[in-house]
Structures are given as structure tokens and as C-alpha cells.
Amino acid sequence: MLRQISFLILLALSPLAAQAHEPGEADGANASWFTFAWPLGENTLKPRGASTRGAAVVLDPAPGEAWRRLREPGLSTLERDRRAILAMAGPYRVSFNFLEVLRFDPALKPDAPYQSWGTEYVFVSEDRENFIALQHILVMRVKMEDGSTGMPMVVRHWRQEWRYQSGALLAYEGANTWARRPVPAQQRDGAWVQSVFQVDDSPRYAARGRWQHNDSNSTWVSDETWRPLPRREWSVRKDYQVLVGTNRHTITADGWVQEENNLKLALDDNGNARAQMPYLAREYGFARYQRIKDYDFSAGENYFARTEPFWAEVRSAWRELAQREARFTLKAPVDQGRLFEPFFDYAQTLADSKRFDRDDARAFIDRTLRDSYLARD
């Protein structure tokens, strides 16, 4: 039986694929990892995280079928955009890197860089002409102290949904609150809204942008958006409340990358940017998805197949809520408050071969959202 652990536990166990390569260290397994920072000389800052390593993987550098389809001549703009989004699906080794590159408050102490890793399959869960949904599933195999490889740990990771020329998006406003906002008609033409969801399909952030294609790559750049703090930040920082960032997704022949340019924003008691020193720092983020081959993702495939009907009902409930309520607030941040646990537990019963019952699942979802998630006046 596959072994699943909660997202928080996974991050606590496995945030590092390799340590930073420090001056004077002999070349070897760590030589390909590096840290850049400002000012020069801050090389004593070791990356945050634990020290687990994953099983060896085989990179697949040859241009994939999705890349060849993306470059076919004669495609309409819409179809080329769609193929760029679909090219993000597949098997990957992922490295996550975040570095605070500017500190606007001289009193702030240097913040250690963050590095993590994962082996992840990105599934196409929905594909229609104007809508594509991609579900990320981690399938982690940790290398043990005795040199053996542990059993696969399957974790439902984040989800991204893409809507073409969408008339609205769900925006984060701070203080665990989201609101439905219209996209002006003049900003919709040719644009895609990417909505990012947390591990339990609760909202995280959404942004509008357009794809640009050339012979080297395809790239989508977002508007600036507010987003809640991720675990890598709220677990160590209490001095700001919102990340204000832009995303860039770039499709390449052997995978794709996601770049983030984030400002760390402190709010006042009214939920607005505070008057003095509102922005504490700027960080860069870089997630590299490198396509791999000959890696056994079957545990993740089984989990996805058995639980996706349940998660589809979860998404339906969230969408109904967003349509019904112009603005809504959660009782706590989903990860900090561990709000996701009832949904993860229910999904695990399905992964362990329990037959899916839609009526039972929907009653459970509605009850959980009402009792565990939503804040009421």
C-alpha cells in the first residue's frame, strides 16, 4: 500500500537535494549547486532546510513530443498558447530556489536562501479549448542513511488552472481573504488568467498575462498579484504579511521553469500597506522542471486516478462558494491551520481502494468547508 504523508511533514523532511557549494569545498556531488547573494561576502549563509536526498534520476534532455507539437508551423495563436500550457505536463525533477536579493530596511538581518527538491508528475486533469488544468503530484523516494531508497511518498501538490480571456479572477486581499474581481474587457484580448491553488484546492492567487512565442522558447509573464505567505516564509518570518509578485513561465525543449519576482509587504491593522517601510525586501524565486525518464511514478498515477473524482467535487464546492460570495475569509491560513487534513484523510481512504460515493463525498465537503474552513461574522 502506498504511503502518503501530509504536505507539511514532507516539506519538513525533504527540503534539500544538495547543500550550497561553499568556497574551498572540493569539487564533487555538490559542485553544480551554488548560491548568489548581495553584498558579496555573504557566503556564510547556508541554505535553509533539512538534508535529505532523493534517489538518483535520469534526465531526458532530448526535445519531447510536446515541444515538437508546440513548434509546428501554421498554428493559431490560441492553439500555440494551449500547447505551451500542455507542455508543462509530464515527469520532472524539480529544484526550488529562493533568494532575498534586496533588503530595503538596513536593520534587517540577512535571510538565508531556500533550496528544495522534488520528483513530480504534472497531470492534465482537464483540457477544453479555453480552459486547461494541471495537477502536480509529488512522488518522493528518499535516500536512506544505509544507502537504500525508501518507499514512495505520494503527496498531492499544487494545482494550476488556465482560462483564456477570462472575465474575472479570484484575488487575494490579505488576512486570509479572497474576492472575485472583474478583468476589464480591454485587458482580456489574447490573455490567459492563471489561477494557482493550494494542496486542498483552496485558492492561493490568480494573475493575468499573455504568452509570447519564438524559436527558442515560449514565455508567459503575469501581472503583479498579492499572494499569501508560503510555508518557507511563515515558518521563519513574522514581520510581513503578503508577497507581491510576478511570475514568468518559460517552456524549453527539456522542460520548463517558473520564475518569481516577489516583494515582501507589511500591512497595517486595516489591511493596507503600512505607511513607513511597507516593503521589507525583494526575493527572486526559480523553480526548474527538468524532464526525467525511467522513474516509477505508478504510485502517484494510482493516487491521482483513485482520488481525482473526490477532488473534482472539492473544486466544484470552492467554485460555487466563489460565485455565491463576492468575498470570503478562511479561519486560518490553510497550511498553518492544517485545514487541509480532513480532505487529505478522506482522499487517502479512496487511495486505499474505497469506492467513491459522490453523495457521501459532497456532504463531507460541504460540512468541512462550513465547519473547518470558513470564518463567519
Q: Tell me, what DSSP letter sits at residue 56?
A: P
| Residue bearing cell 497531470 | 123
Interhelix angle for 341-351 vs 358-368, to 10°?
160
Q: Which whole number is the average pLDDT over 57-74?
A: 95
Q: Which whole number is the average pLDDT over 167-189?
A: 96
111 pLDDT tier (thresholds 50, 70, 90)? confident
CB of 368 closer than 8 Å to CB of 321: no
pLDDT, residue 319, reads 95
**Over the chain, what is the mean pLDDT?**
88
147 pLDDT tier (thresholds 50, 70, 90)? confident
pLDDT higher than 70, residue 36: no
* Interatomic CA distance for residues 264 and 244, integer angstroms: 7
pLDDT higher than 90, residue 214: yes
Q: What is the three-state SS of 84-141?
A: HHHCCCEEEEEEEEEEEEEECCCCCCCCCCEEEEEEEEEEEEEEECCEEEEEEEEEEC
CB of 347 closer than 8 Å to CB of 307: yes
- Residue 75 to residues 87, 168, 193, 196, 324: CA-CA distances in angstroms? 15, 27, 21, 27, 38
Residue type present at position 350: L
For residues 38 and 88, the model is more confident at 88
pLDDT higher than 50, residue 21: no
pLDDT, residue 28, reads 35
pLDDT, residue 41, reads 56
- Tell the burial category of 302 from Cβ atoms under 10 Å away from its Cβ (0-12, 13-18, 19+): middle
Lowest-confidence segment of 12-26, 257-271, 337-351 by average pLDDT: 12-26
C-alpha cell belonging to residue 254: 527539456
Report pTM.
0.89
